[in-house]
Structure 1
Amino acid sequence: MLTLRRLPIDTFRENVAFLNRGCTGYHVEDFLGLGRVEVRGDGRSLLAVLNLVDDPAILGPEEIGLSQSAFRHLGLPEGSPVHLVPPTPPVSFDRVRDKVLGATLSPEDLRRIIADITDHRYSKIEIAAFLIACASFMTTEEVLGLTRAMVAAGARLDWDGVRPIVDKHCIGGIPGNRTSMIVVPIVAAHGLPIPKTSSRAITSPAGTADTMEVLANVDVPVERMQELVREARGCLVWGGHVRLSPADDILISVERPLAIDTREQLVASILSKKVAAGSSHLVVDIPVGPTAKVRSMAEAARLRKLFEHVGDQLGLSLDVAVTDGSQPVGRGIGPVLEARDVMAVLRGDPAAPADLRDRALLLAGRILEFDPAVRGGAGIAIARQILESGRALAAMERIMAMQGPPPAAATLGTLVAEIPSPAEGVVTAIDCFRIARIARLAGAPNDKGAGIDLLRKVGDPVRRGEPLYRIHARTGADFAFAQSFALEETGVSVAMP
């Protein structure tokens, strides 16, 4: 037997166990070839990647150390007696190998794979193999099976027969597109319940959860989330904490460094979260543009049909809005800057970004028309009245107060560089992908104060040497990376009219 220790090492969702090379209870060599170990104690077990420690001051020969995430997942107190066994690979991984070789997975195959992933029985390498195999090809029925498996692996909210339970989701890819943080308070002020759960950013400089965390706590337990929706009619929380489709957040943690975000996985991710949250009616925003995730109307039509097919099978009433994805929305790109834009719109600031305001009103109007009492076509006018009257701001302030303060104060990065225009003329295009990458190099979203403040949008005149945007960063290395990348190619096209 070994004594369990919690080591203050953050391995970011990777379960890692540490043994002293001179371990007295086991022959370390028995586990090295496998690269992993199964830790068991008091009826609990955990598969973990095995690392060795040579310094007894870090870990003694009669101890086993677990990284923070592994210790949390095992769920035993520090000092507990545990024993080790050679790891038993999850049987479901045989079907992942088949998928790599071109097989089509059945609903039961997908259920077992997602159940094992949720139980942390897959290493990151094995999850990556699954994601890459699915990225190669997935049938429509596999997407449906994956979505159902992701719903079944976690909690599912019950709203006691209340309908409609509405929601909204954008597929992403457009920097600054934080419409959810305006839509939710508008809809909540109208009285429709909207339990908005959001993921953190995968490949973008900020997700809704990242930006909302600038203003309020987003790590809300499921019971509190339900209270929020019943009392405030809405919430803006991180989906991972309420264990709605928990496999999604595990998959996202691997998708992020691989920059994988396929249409099929996107549909399963979004719809599994919405069904698990108990939503009955959903508006999906698909921005289309030359540097967006979806780059043509034909591609948007195919994605819309996939959403509609899977949504129909899951009993969701779906409304797909195809919007302009030709450039970033608003001015701020990065959590602090995007939160600034959102609050400016809600407060009715004359300088608030008009494009962010107009898009949020469009989407809120579509959601309000799910209300049987709202006539078709009247939704946007009602949404505008709610916003302009201050009711949406009041609803947002109530939601923020009920969710509680953010875990830490977030301020704008103090390292600032203005990127000059290389020519005189008019801004003709902004590359969403490159601008997002520059903001990420600056440190967003992990550093909430990092990002880009756009000073010019498409159609704006600019002189040579005038700033196109400002980069904000907090650390010198991030600042240098972002500035160098931006000066190499700004991502903003300027031409004479």
Structure 2
Amino acid sequence: MRARRAHIDTYQQAVVYMRSDCDVCRAEGFEAQAQVEVINGQHRVLAILHRVDSDWLHHDEIALSDAAWKVLKVHEGVPLRVRHPQMLESLRHLRAKVYGARLDYGAFHALMQDIAAQRLTDLHLAAFVTACAGGRLDMDETIALTRAMIDVGERLQWPTAPVMDKHCVGGLPGNRTTLLVVPIVAACGVLMPKTSSRAITSPAGTADTMETLAPVTLDVTAMRRVVEREGACIVWGGAVQLSPADDVLIRVERPLDLDSDAQLVASVLSKKAAVGSQKVLVDVPVGPTAKVRSAEAAQSLAHALVTVGAAIGLEVEPLLTDGSQPVGRGIGPALEAMDVLAVLERRHDAPQDLRERALLLAGAVLEMAGKAAPGEGFLLAQRTLDEGRALAKFVSLCDAQGGMRVPPVAPYFAPVTAARPGVVTQIDNRRIARAAKLAGAPRDPAAGATLHVRLGDPVERGQPLFTLHADTPGELRYALDYVHQQPSIVAVKEHT
């Protein structure tokens, strides 16, 4: 079959298109949605087949999605081989898990190998993610899954110790403390090579926000170069392929909107171990509309993080924090980046809650690293920020990663105002995050929401509560329609 580029973006899923009446489809019995193996010399990819009944594709052509085209490193007209893929032994472990069986390390390792090699279809991946959600992995399985994720990828090592890391379990819009913690810690001489994820179920991930300020798609060689020069980095974990199976699973978790505790623990800690971290601080926001809603759930997650961390050689310190409302003002990649810059530049209008939260976390990391005595980390972090050393380190980090950028600004925006005077009694994290996503975040970096009030603030009728930002009028209307159906996203109680 002759290669043809379809110019269709199927994200990370490789897809190919063939005529239903072509000789290969008829001879091999390829059905729509079948998985096929496509080979170009030493390069091969497993792809989902879409059958075409139209003359835009010739009988001897196979059209490739952007993802398949990239993997095969092919050119127009190059002959490609197409065949049925070999049977996957790991699928029996997947079926066993669907029916409730416990899996051991060998079973998880076989699955992770095939997932990392992208041999499983999105249907298989969705079945695996679902079968492991809802408390269906016990502690031993979570440890086995984490080890398997680590073992099918690379594992970096660094010449100095300790190697520090920090992570937030998510669920709190605007909580972009990593972009402050890393330069503070690095400015104090502590090694912190930070790999971060893109958004899974939120309006922005750390990598999405950092990308509005500097390149984050660095390979391992470039990442090492930055860390050797600056003592830190903030890069997208998906580009360095340190836990490749996790990156594939995240692709499916995003549309499913699933992020269960066991998979969260395995995902986070496999990445930390792979990047060579030795000590990890984990921010666990707790609040009625956060990802973790109760003290009991937080303690259970904290116990899992510590236990699994110890099993794979990581010192993990969970820190339970206030998750009752968003952090800062911006919700969305560029809007959150502007908050970060305001804090780093020590501007008078910088969001103080973001500043204080970042100092708390940076101080805890400095104490874990032995750079500050117990109880003195906050003050060291504060001095580092107030003296401008954190800003200088951040600018230097951005330059090392490819150059600092100016975050984009959305051309369309609309305020959402208070229907009555009173006091703000609740800000729903989940629903304001959904509104920001409907406005286009994180796909459109400038899209999202800007929050104008905090819990306990008095407001007047008609006063802006938050503003939606979008790249197109249609997306703005879409988000506003949702907001108007959810009048208590920001709840205002009238004075009595």
Give the TM-score normalised by structure 1: 0.96
- Aligned pair partner of 2:475 in 472, 475, 478: 478
Letter in structure 2 aligned against 1:299: A
Give the structure 2 partner of residue 295 of structure 1: 293
Give SS of 2:223's match.
Answer: helix
* C-alpha contact (below 8 Å) 1:21/1:28 kept by paired residues: no
- Aligned pair partner of 2:129 in 128, 131, 135: 131
Give the structure 2 partner of residue 32 of structure 1: 31
Give the structure 1 partner of residue 140 of structure 2: 141
Deviation of 1:88 (Å)? 2.8
Deviation of 1:322 (Å)? 0.4
Give the structure 2 partner of residue 344 of structure 1: 342
Letter in structure 2 aligned against 1:302: S
- What are the superposed Cα offsets for residues 277-303 of structure 1, whole Å, 9 maximum, x if unpaired? 000011000000000011111111110
Compared CA separation, residues 280 and 467, structure 1 to 2 (3 A): same
Deviation of 1:28 (Å)? 6.1
* C-alpha contact (below 8 Å) 2:330/2:449 kept by paired residues: yes
Letter in structure 2 aligned against 1:457: R
- Aligned pair partner of 2:64 in 63, 66, 71: 66
User: 1:421-460 alignment to 2 at 5 Å?
Assistant: 421-460=418-457
* C-alpha contact (below 8 Å) 1:164/1:370 kept by paired residues: no
Give SS of 1:240's match.
Answer: helix
Query: Are 2:158 and 1:156 equivalent residues in the alignment?
Result: no
User: 1:260-271 alignment to 2 at 5 Å?
Assistant: 260-271=258-269
Letter in structure 1 aligned against 2:15: V
Letter in structure 1 aligned against 2:157: D
Return 5+ residue gaps in structure 2 as ranges.
none
* C-alpha contact (below 8 Å) 2:43/2:71 kept by paired residues: no
Compared CA separation, residues 356 and 409, structure 1 to 2 (3 A): closer
Deviation of 1:232 (Å)? 0.8
* C-alpha contact (below 8 Å) 1:15/1:70 kept by paired residues: yes
Distance (whole Å) between structure 1 residues aligned to residue 445 and residue 40 of structure 2: 39
Give SS of 1:31's match.
Answer: coil
Letter in structure 1 aligned against 2:465: L
Give SS of 2:454's match.
Answer: coil
Deviation of 1:493 (Å)? 1.1
* C-alpha contact (below 8 Å) 2:204/2:332 kept by paired residues: yes
Give the structure 1 partner of residue 81 of structure 2: 83
- What are the superposed Cα offsets for residues 117-165 of structure 1, whole Å, 9 maximum, x if unpaired? 11111111110000000014101111111111111122211113x2100
User: 1:247-396 alignment to 2 at 5 Å?
Assistant: 247-396=245-394
Deviation of 1:267 (Å)? 0.6
Distance (whole Å) between structure 2 residues aligned to residue 42 and residue 409 of structure 1: 43
Compared CA separation, residues 175 and 288, structure 1 to 2 (3 A): same
Deviation of 1:370 (Å)? 2.4
Query: Are 2:474 and 1:468 equivalent residues in the alignment?
Result: no
- What are the superposed Cα offsets for residues 151-183 of structure 1, whole Å, 9 maximum, x if unpaired? 1122211113x2100010000000000000000
Deviation of 1:51 (Å)? 1.1
* C-alpha contact (below 8 Å) 2:32/2:51 kept by paired residues: no
* C-alpha contact (below 8 Å) 2:195/2:236 kept by paired residues: yes
Deviation of 1:23 (Å)? 2.2
* C-alpha contact (below 8 Å) 2:35/2:49 kept by paired residues: yes
Compared CA separation, residues 294 and 25, structure 1 to 2 (3 A): closer
Give SS of 1:46's match.
Answer: strand
Deviation of 1:29 (Å)? 6.6
User: 1:220-259 alignment to 2 at 5 Å?
Assistant: 220-259=218-257
Letter in structure 2 aligned against 1:190: C
* C-alpha contact (below 8 Å) 1:424/1:463 kept by paired residues: yes
Is 64-73 or 268-277 further displaced after alignment? 64-73
Aligned length: 493
* C-alpha contact (below 8 Å) 2:164/2:369 kept by paired residues: no
Give SS of 1:445's match.
Answer: coil
Deviation of 1:405 (Å)? 3.8
Is 175-184 or 44-53 further displaced after alignment? 44-53
Letter in structure 1 aligned against 2:423: V
Letter in structure 2 aligned against 1:400: C
Deviation of 1:76 (Å)? 4.5
Deviation of 1:36 (Å)? 2.4
Compared CA separation, residues 235 and 380, structure 1 to 2 (3 A): same
- What are the superposed Cα offsets for residues 239-260 of structure 1, whole Å, 9 maximum, x if unpaired? 0001110111211111111100
Give SS of 1:220's match.
Answer: coil
Give SS of 1:369's match.
Answer: helix
Query: Are 2:415 and 1:418 equivalent residues in the alignment?
Result: yes
Give the structure 2 partner of residue 13 of structure 1: 12
Give the structure 2 partner of residue 217 of structure 1: 215
* C-alpha contact (below 8 Å) 1:425/1:462 kept by paired residues: yes
Once the two structures are aligned, what percentage of the paired residues are identical? 47
Compared CA separation, residues 226 and 43, structure 1 to 2 (3 A): closer
Give SS of 2:239's match.
Answer: coil
Deviation of 1:3 (Å)? 2.2
Letter in structure 2 aligned against 1:372: G
* C-alpha contact (below 8 Å) 1:193/1:230 kept by paired residues: no
Compared CA separation, residues 423 and 28, structure 1 to 2 (3 A): farther
Give SS of 2:80's match.
Answer: strand
Give SS of 2:212's match.
Answer: helix
Distance (whole Å) between structure 2 residues aligned to residue 373 and residue 442 of structure 1: 43
* C-alpha contact (below 8 Å) 2:449/2:467 kept by paired residues: yes
Is 6-15 or 182-191 further displaced after alignment? 6-15
* C-alpha contact (below 8 Å) 1:336/1:411 kept by paired residues: yes
Distance (whole Å) between structure 2 residues aligned to residue 225 and residue 412 of structure 1: 28
Deviation of 1:355 (Å)? 0.4
Deviation of 1:191 (Å)? 0.8
